[in-house]
Amino acid sequence: MLNRTISPLAPANGVVFAVLCVIAFALLVLLRPQVPVDAADAAMLDSILLWDSMLPRAAMALIAGAALGLSGALLQRVLRNPIADASTLGIASGAELALTIAMSFSPLLLGLSRELVAFGGGLVAVAIVLALSWRRSLDPVTVALSGMIVTLIASALSVTVVLARGEYAMSIYIWGAGSLSQQDWSGVLSLGPRLLIGALATTLLMRPLTVLSLDDGAARSLGVALHSTRFLVLALGVWLSASVTAQVGIIGFLGLAAPAIARFVGARTTRQVMIVAPLAGAGLLFLTDCVTQLLGPGFSDLAPAGAATALLGGPLLLFLLPRVHSVAAVTARSSSAFGRMERPFVALLGLGALILLFLAAALTIGQGEDGWHVAVGSLFSDLLPFRLPRTAAAGGAGALLAAAGFIMQRVTGNPIASPEVLGVSAGGGAGLTVALFLFGFPSPTIMLTAMALGALVTFMVMVAIAGRTQFAPERLLLAGIAIGAFAMAIVTMVLAQGDMRAYILLTWLSGSTSRAGAFEAWTAVISAVGLAGALPLLGRWLTILPLGGSASRGLGLSVGLSRLILAVIAAVMTAIASFLVGPLSLTGLIAPHLARLIGFQKPGHQLLASILIGAGVLIAADWLSRIIIYPYQVPVGLFAALISGPYLVWLLTRRQGRQ
């Protein structure tokens, strides 16, 4: 928190901001579209548009923004974490998943209490995040990364439910993008009292909230029951954000922005932050919604309010990085669990044999209506055209992701780096989104090119950020979350349109290989052989770069050129793999790690082992995703994320002494 009092310019800035909001809304009212009917009907319809749509929407923006601003201030105070909010803690995604499941399979439950369902989902999500971060004393970096994992898995599960339910559930995702559109005053009358209750409860909790700014020992000495107080404040923050999510969908990162704005203008004490943050949140959401309406054609918005505010999340997280202090920073060391590998070639042959075993199982073993069967003879010939392309696509994508993760970890010198964690996969999705905007329904070649460009830009930004912070692990990871949030906000803008482009993005997000054909299979195999086969020629770069920029230059290496070439290769690998299996598998993280844990020491051996492990993981995941809940199928990207996510959490939360 900034060490200053309220700035004398803060009231003036607040007045200017309020005037901008009034001007924007006035323009919105004056420029509202006219209904092409006779004069009498036009006046009546215009009155309905103003009083039953525009004014309730404006009131909803103010109330929802204030509730999210207050929720963010409460969560940041109780966790002593300047980047805590409903988005970074997984609360919004947990609430959306609960609502999606309830709406898809038990609509009557929503009729009883939509807010209760959302509150339950958000509370479970934040409980998981806090449980995963408890061993590190709720360290801000670990909390943020655990929240990222919970958000990824919850979002992937939501996408899977939407795909399973088809067009009926597509409206769930459109609503989940955060729309403030109103048809009457019922939403305002529902959410308004909740905001008042939240404000009253915050007033009653003001003294404990003030004491929580101290360390735990001082807080206990002043008579505060830490665990019960934290639970009450957490429950209040989750309830406010879940109530907004239940009413209007996910409004991304507003709870992060509002307290940051409050502190930026000089709010120092707890009371000041709790007053200014809701006002900042209300004004920011109101102004954003007015601008999206003014820039949109006719009655349609340029983008849903939730997606528009989510675009602020990435840059704001980057701005807040210097204020985040990790008390238990993620170490950059990684040791072998089995000692040094004495015979690496034998181990590599063993990994190759294991992959062949997985491949044979994927092609022959499955379930049918009459139970388990092993396909042989004519049955094997009949099933091979369906099973072989998706298995080849999954294996090739796994190899590409593993190689890309290995490159990123060597370039940054950080074993936690990977296409998924650093937001590079999400950057590829942003590139795909731009291609869908420009070309409507682009060819696979254009899709791959656009994704490669998006992934390359993202990775180069990450390298630049990491270089400025001397590749500090915690800063690199938080920057990855920021870049990923920004890229996924771009994806959400198209998802909210609800057309066929949105369905293409939904399928991509889930990472399904069910429609993989000859094109996808050959693309995966040729890319894996060609791109990964070129890496041994760059072995000197991959060996020297982890030593740092100064040491690399001292050894005669052109750091900028080598990083650029490796970044291009990693970006192309990520784009192709993400095109095939989506952005969520986390294979690019766990494959190089498992190679090191097994005991491969030399970079060349680690690279080959990583490629083999990555291919094996996704081949096995694709096979299991087809049989584990037969006759339904889990998309391979989601299934791999469900396996890899716990590994990432374990890696981040294990104690320094066990590294």
List the alpha helices (DSSP H) in 469-537. Answer: 473-495, 500-510, 518-534
Residue 608: Cβ within 10 Å count:
25
The predicted pLDDT at position 193 comes to 93
Q: Which positions ≥6 away from 501 have C-beta within 8 Å?
A: 436, 440, 441, 494
Residues 447, 579 contacting (CB under 8 angstroms): yes
Distance of alpha carbon 119 from alpha carbon 404, whole angstroms: 39
Q: Model-level pTM?
A: 0.77
H helix count then E strand count, the chain: 28, 2
Q: How many CB atoms lie within 10 A of CB 207?
A: 13
Torsion of CA 594, 596, 599, 602, to 10 degrees: 140
**How high is the pLDDT of residue 256?**
83
What pLDDT score does 444 carry?
82
Q: What is the pLDDT of residue 472?
A: 58
Low-confidence ranges of the chain (pLDDT < 50): 1-6, 9, 168, 327-334, 655-659
Cα–Cα distance, 501 to 499 (Å, whole number):
5
Amino acid at 108: L
| Residue 286 CA: distances (Å) to CA of 20, 248, 262, 309, 472 | 10, 14, 17, 11, 37
DSSP state of 442: -
